[in-house]
Amino acid sequence: MSPLPLLLPLLLLLLLPLLNMEPARATLIRIPLHRVQPERRNLNLLRGWREPAEVPKLGAPSPGDKLTFVPLSNYRDVQYFGKIGLGTPPQNFTVVFDTGSSNLWVPSRRCHFFSVPCWLHHRFDPKASSSFQANGTKFAIQYGTGRVDGILSEDKLTIGGIKGASVIFGEALREPGLVFTFAHFDGILGLGFPILSVEGVRPPMDVLVEQGLLDKPVFSFYLNRDPEEPDGGELVLGGSDPAHYIPPLTFVPVTVPAYWQIHMERVKVGPGLTLCVRGCAAILDTGTSLITGPTEEIRALHAAIGGYPLLAGEVLNTEITPWHWRATEGIEQSRNLSSSLVPLLLQYIILCSEIPKLPAVSFLLGGVWFNLTAQDYVIQTTRNGVRLCLSGFQALDVPPPAGPFWILGDVFLGTYVAVFDRGDTKSGARVGLARALTRRAALGLGETAQAQFPG
């Protein structure tokens, strides 16, 4: 017998990974990842929300398939950050990659003497960069516990393997409040649409495309929430890596190109409870750790999964990370919540012994059900030797005209890889979703990718 039939299965096994790879002309830049092991879990609360003044214009992508990979570190499964460089030679910073904002800022060497967070983090020194250009325009971003303000400057950005992009960024001169003091990141790099940008600054993603350093205005997030794996995930600029997800990708059009807002058809809790009955808005936000929704619907959801309410921050002495406290007019109008009341939002506790019995919570997006099992949506942590199980859902009422809407934060995005595609003037923006492929899933130990419900 000819050995060819015996060799064909082996050849197919060797070729299958290649079939899922980007084209050969793609430039893949990978950086080793590291993960910060948690001692206890943070529960992040939320930014404020406002209605964009106008819909931004989208630039047309360049041809090609260059990809840039940026490693993400994971701090307590709620802070995902990676490294960038600013200046010549590059000065290194860790930044949160945030799809809910559009500015880049880092602490400045020229920061105010009494700005304690600035002195505890890496600071940008314009005198140490040969490519620095002064701008001097003042900027300010308001947060619930204070504000970040400073001046705009221009210099070269290094991100992944991309070098030489000339970007305008914020040098933070003041960072009032304690929340930035204990942050495990230096600054924030926004990946939202231009309309969200303070002072009309072009977002870094737009700059990379306009200067020909990135072929397509596309990026994707793989947020690794598996505590047995050392890395925190990966941000891929210019496309997505099929090794991160179980195909196919389901694409959903962006309805409001400011935040990454899409239409959600329904939400189901097991077979018995339906939420978002007439359809509703949802925002995919890497800067929000939990999944939020309108109070009445989240209350019904917790009744179905047996959640017991407690006051976050009061009972657990919860640490709050700052970028979820953004107090623009949206959150100030939302049930008159001032910054002093934000920590009193209800968090729900789950009986750990009930996790195997809890129903799936599923989201209908683009005609496809995206299922979260209890292992996905229950946050398990240990405090002083006591195991605690906390709900990954939280109530947040955002008033019109910006709201109401759901926010699909890291609890959802840790389970499903998201591909954010800015599109162009012809196709428009969209978001692609597929089940994240962890090492456990690759070995056949993962959960079912989609819930099965009648149409």
Which of the residues are catalytic?
Answer: 98, 285
Tokens 């012994």 belong to residue: 353
Chain centre distance of CA 117: 23
Number of H helices, E strands in the chain: 8, 28
154 in the Ramachandran plot: left (φ > 0), alpha (ψ -120 to 50) or beta?
beta
CA–CA distance, 206 with 200 (Å, rounded to integer): 12
CA–CA distance, 318 with 326 (Å, rounded to integer): 18
Structure tokens at 32: 């080793």
Q: Which residues contact 218 (CB under 8 A, 6 or more apart)?
A: 61, 237, 238, 239, 240, 419, 420, 421, 422
CA–CA distance, 326 with 153 (Å, rounded to integer): 23
Cis peptide bond N-terminal to 5, omega within 30: no
Is residue 263 within 8 Å of residue 254, measured between CB atoms?
A: no
CA–CA distance, 292 with 348 (Å, rounded to integer): 12
CA–CA distance, 63 with 280 (Å, rounded to integer): 35
CA–CA distance, 378 with 389 (Å, rounded to integer): 6
Shortest CA distance to 259 belongs to which of 407, 433, 59?
A: 407
CA–CA distance, 334 with 407 (Å, rounded to integer): 15
| DSSP assignment letter at 259 | T
Specify which residues 387 forms β-bridges with: 382
CA–CA distance, 169 with 262 (Å, rounded to integer): 28
How large is the C-alpha radius of gyration of the chain? 22
